[in-house]
Chain A
Amino acid sequence: MPALLEASGLTKHYDVETGGFFRRSKAALRAVDGVNLTIEPGETLGLVGESGCGKSTLGRLLIRLIPATAGRVMFDGMEITSLGPKALRAARRAMQIVFQDPFGALNPRMSVEETIMEPLLIHGSRRGAASRDAVTRMLDMVGLAESARHRFPHEFSGGQRQRIGIARALILRPKLVVCDEPVSALDVSVQAQIVNLLSDLQTELGLTYLFIAHDLGVVKHISTRVAVMYLGKVVEVADKRSLYARPLHPYTQALLASVPVTHPSQRRRGTIGQPRITGDIPTALAPPSGCRFHTRCPHVMPICRTDEPAMRQSGAGHQAACHLIAADPPM
């Protein structure tokens, strides 16, 4: 089956002015730098990384919510990076987004019905009984009471607001939904409800997700495959099981080792040999040469400082960009 989405060489640079008043210079902040990624129909691709790694920017680039500096995105057989404004607007039916902040994601002056119905109206439906029925079905689908219809966002809790945002994203029956940290702003006891809801809706509607998050546990739970980003690059992509059981990139290893334990008996204090990493993430304004992780990597070698590692295959569907990896022999 062909991929639902295929990105190649996707790049987003932001111009940033640096320096003082007299000596201005422009620098490029490389938020996303030459990313290749595919999303298969029906899967959930988890996208993890620390703040500032560009995962949220990548999510928006993939559905062209922001224009790319370079590279292209094929979505459902169509190159969306070169679509004109009108064709793009029509194409948006098939790709939607769910946001992190349940407070900022809803217009405070629009009722729940207006909010959920808006995408339909944008795409030519009339504000009639059919549209209202569609809203009713969506309310039911996301687990909100019919009485929520005429209420306003401020009357709802964070979890309920997230349900409204999901209903708005799904009313057009999209193929791909970018979920940008959809549960990280919610209370712990409410997160599971939303994760379960997203899973149920995926089964029911045959959705494909790009699930962006920094919580490795949630990503592990919901994803089919997982991509790990560091400083604007995808450093490892693999099947979920393979990635969590056999992380190849030292950064992925460090991420997994940093997750707090689930039981006090597993405390690692004093244990030696854990690939814990030190130091902070370098700035994307001047990313390190060679492998971008070399400044923090416990296994750094001279070649890492000069040569950027290419993505190498190691096992079925498992790729990582690290000089340590011996690629599978060509078949």
Chain B
Amino acid sequence: MSLLDVRDLTTSFQTGGGEVTAIENVSFSLEKGEILGIVGESGSGKSVTALAIMGLLPRPPARVLGGSVRFEGQDLLTLSDRSMQRLRGPGIAMVFQEPMTSLNPVFTIGEQIMETIRAHESLSQKDSFARAVEMLEKVGIPAATTRMSDYPHQLSGGQRQRVMLAIALVCRPRLLIADEPTTALDVTIQAQILELLMDLRDEFGMAIIMITHNMGVIAETADRVLVMYAGRVVEQAPVGRLFDHPLHPYTRGLLSCVPTLDQDQDRLIAIPGSLPEPSRRPSGCRFSARCVHAIPACSDVIPPLEIFEQSHAAACIRVGDFA
């Protein structure tokens, strides 16, 4: 049994202009200790997927239209609020992009970590303090005992993200969802945090869903990758395969449009056009309007995600022509 198994997850948002689907038929599974990267740009639905798994979608305006999210065999979509709360922390934890606003400014970081511990375990004040200090040391905060009484504003951005990780990991979750955990950080700090995440994965054996728009972060951390575009999964593959043989034109565009340090090009290979707004997605393949390989048939049907080889799947009717 997989640790997490998401099947045909479909959600929508109520907007001023009517109901708009956010993600459609998102399916994937995740094994113990595995790092699944989800890449996508704004409007791809990557964060909505994460929030739907956590049961944190604001309802209304959001609504789950169908599908299932099985965590250790249990369907989270049918769970009561109480049971879901008990699961968040020791079962699934999450860290967000913005380390500035994710911490409560009026409590010390020690209080915030200990609060999380005591919400799930009956530990004495002394024991939970020791646990919190231990966790802060693990995430690389020096002089952890004295830092326990610091307030969030006394920490730098990188340290705040470390504290967020400490809060997320203090109950030893089996699954950590990291939503753009390094996007707001500088590149030298990003390298430190990614390294730390990998170390913690090795130590705790938790699975990680790494959500990002940065192919470099994927190349650096993921075991398997899900590429999302305009609310749908367009490609799924083990990380090596994805970088060696990207199948979907969107994935190939993403990989080639970012200038890298180890190659020189006169011109970047740009993907034309811009991301469709959720209410104005094209019919058929969502990428067809920007795809250089599009044929008329592309706008007729939504291509299903089909497995090709070595658990490599892509949703494109022309995949056969590229392979």
Complex Cα gap A132–B299 (Å): 38
User: Which chain A residues (263-305) contact chain B, with CB distance < 8 Å?
Assistant: 263-267, 269, 276-278, 280-281
Complex Cα gap A151–B272 (Å): 21
- The answer to whether A159 touches B240 (Cβ under 8 A) is no
Interface string of B253-273 (1 = CB under 8 A from A): 110011111100101111110
Q: Which residues of B contact A265 (CB under 8 A)?
A: 240, 243
- The answer to whether B271 touches A260 (Cβ under 8 A) is no
B317 beta carbon closer than 8 Å to chain A: no
Looking at A122-130, A174-182, A192-200, the stretch in contact with chain B turns out to be A192-200
- The answer to whether B214 touches A192 (Cβ under 8 A) is no
- The answer to whether A262 touches B188 (Cβ under 8 A) is no
Looking at A35-43, A109-117, A250-258, the stretch in contact with chain B turns out to be A250-258
Interface string of B234-249 (1 = CB under 8 A from A): 0000011001000000
Q: How far is the CB of A89 from chain B (nearest CB, A)?
A: 35
Q: Which residues of B contact A188 (CB under 8 A)?
A: 41, 213-215, 254, 257-258
B216 beta carbon closer than 8 Å to chain A: yes
Q: How many B residues are at the interface, by size bracket?
A: 35 or more
Complex Cα gap A280–B193 (Å): 12
Q: Which residues of B contact A277 (CB under 8 A)?
A: 188
- The answer to whether A157 touches B274 (Cβ under 8 A) is yes
B187 beta carbon closer than 8 Å to chain A: yes
- The answer to whether A50 touches B186 (Cβ under 8 A) is yes
Given contacts A187-B275, A262-B216, A277-B188, contact A220 B254 (CB under 8 A): no
- The answer to whether A220 touches B261 (Cβ under 8 A) is yes
Given contacts A260-B194, A264-B219, contact A191 B188 (CB under 8 A): no
Given contacts A51-B186, A260-B194, contact A195 B275 (CB under 8 A): no
> Which of B259, B274, B290 is within 8 Å of A195, CB to CB?
B259
B159 beta carbon closer than 8 Å to chain A: yes
A90 beta carbon closer than 8 Å to chain B: no
- The answer to whether A217 touches B267 (Cβ under 8 A) is no
- The answer to whether B187 touches A255 (Cβ under 8 A) is yes
Interface string of B209-235 (1 = CB under 8 A from A): 000011111011010000000000000
Complex Cα gap A224–B305 (Å): 44
- The answer to whether A264 touches B239 (Cβ under 8 A) is yes
- The answer to whether B41 touches A269 (Cβ under 8 A) is no
Q: How far is the CB of A221 from chain B (nearest CB, A)?
A: 4
Interface string of B164-201 (1 = CB under 8 A from A): 00000000000000000000001111111011001000
Complex Cα gap A204–B182 (Å): 37
> Which of A160, A190, A216, A260 is within 8 Å of B214, CB to CB?
A260
User: Which chain A residues (163-188) contact chain B, with CB distance < 8 Å?
Assistant: 187-188
Q: How far is the CB of A156 from chain B (nearest CB, A)?
A: 9
Complex Cα gap A185–B87 (Å): 35
Complex Cα gap A269–B265 (Å): 28
B158 beta carbon closer than 8 Å to chain A: yes
- The answer to whether B265 touches A221 (Cβ under 8 A) is yes
Q: How far is the CB of A195 from chain B (nearest CB, A)?
A: 6
Given contacts A260-B194, A261-B216, A262-B219, contact A191 B258 (CB under 8 A): yes
B42 beta carbon closer than 8 Å to chain A: yes
A contact face: mostly helix, strand, loop, or mixed? helix
User: Which chain B residues (65-117) contact chain A, with CB distance < 8 Å?
Assistant: none
User: Which chain A residues (233-261) contact chain B, with CB distance < 8 Å?
Assistant: 244, 254-261
B14 beta carbon closer than 8 Å to chain A: no
Q: Which residues of B contact A258 (CB under 8 A)?
A: 187-188, 190-191
- The answer to whether A269 touches B198 (Cβ under 8 A) is yes
User: Which chain B residues (260-302) contact chain A, with CB distance < 8 Å?
Assistant: 260-262, 265, 267-272, 274-275, 290
Complex Cα gap A266–B260 (Å): 13
- The answer to whether B261 touches A280 (Cβ under 8 A) is no
Q: Which residues of B contact A160 (CB under 8 A)?
A: 274
Given contacts A187-B41, A192-B269, contact A254 B188 (CB under 8 A): yes
> Which of B156, B217, B254 is within 8 Å of A260, CB to CB?
B217
Q: Which residues of A contact B222 (CB under 8 A)?
A: 264
Complex Cα gap A254–B215 (Å): 20
Q: Which residues of A contact B259 (CB under 8 A)?
A: 192, 195, 217-218, 220-221
Given contacts A192-B269, A260-B194, A260-B214, contact A280 B258 (CB under 8 A): no
- The answer to whether A280 touches B189 (Cβ under 8 A) is yes
- The answer to whether A159 touches B274 (Cβ under 8 A) is yes
Complex Cα gap A277–B190 (Å): 11
- The answer to whether B189 touches A261 (Cβ under 8 A) is no
- The answer to whether A221 touches B41 (Cβ under 8 A) is no
Q: Which residues of A contact B195 (CB under 8 A)?
A: 269, 276
Q: Which residues of B contact A269 (CB under 8 A)?
A: 195, 198
Given contacts A255-B188, A260-B217, A280-B158, contact A193 B270 (CB under 8 A): yes
Q: Which residues of A contact B250 (CB under 8 A)?
A: 189
Binding site for A on B (CB under 8 A): 41-42, 156-159, 186-192, 194-195, 198, 213-217, 219-220, 222, 239-240, 243, 250, 253-254, 257-262, 265, 267-272, 274-275, 290
Ranked nearest first, the 8 interchain pairs of A and B with the lowest CB-CB distance are A260-B216, A221-B259, A192-B270, A50-B186, A258-B191, A192-B268, A192-B257, A157-B274
List 25 A–B pairs whose Cβ atoms lie within 8 Å, in order of A's numbering. Answer: A157-B274, A159-B274, A188-B41, A188-B213, A188-B254, A190-B271, A190-B274, A191-B257, A192-B270, A192-B271, A193-B270, A195-B270, A196-B270, A199-B267, A217-B258, A217-B260, A255-B187, A259-B216, A259-B261, A260-B190, A260-B194, A261-B219, A265-B240, A278-B192, A281-B156
11 further A-B contacts with Cβ under 8 Å, apart from A192-B270, A255-B187, A261-B219, are A157-B274, A189-B271, A192-B257, A192-B258, A217-B259, A221-B265, A260-B216, A260-B219, A262-B219, A269-B198, A278-B192
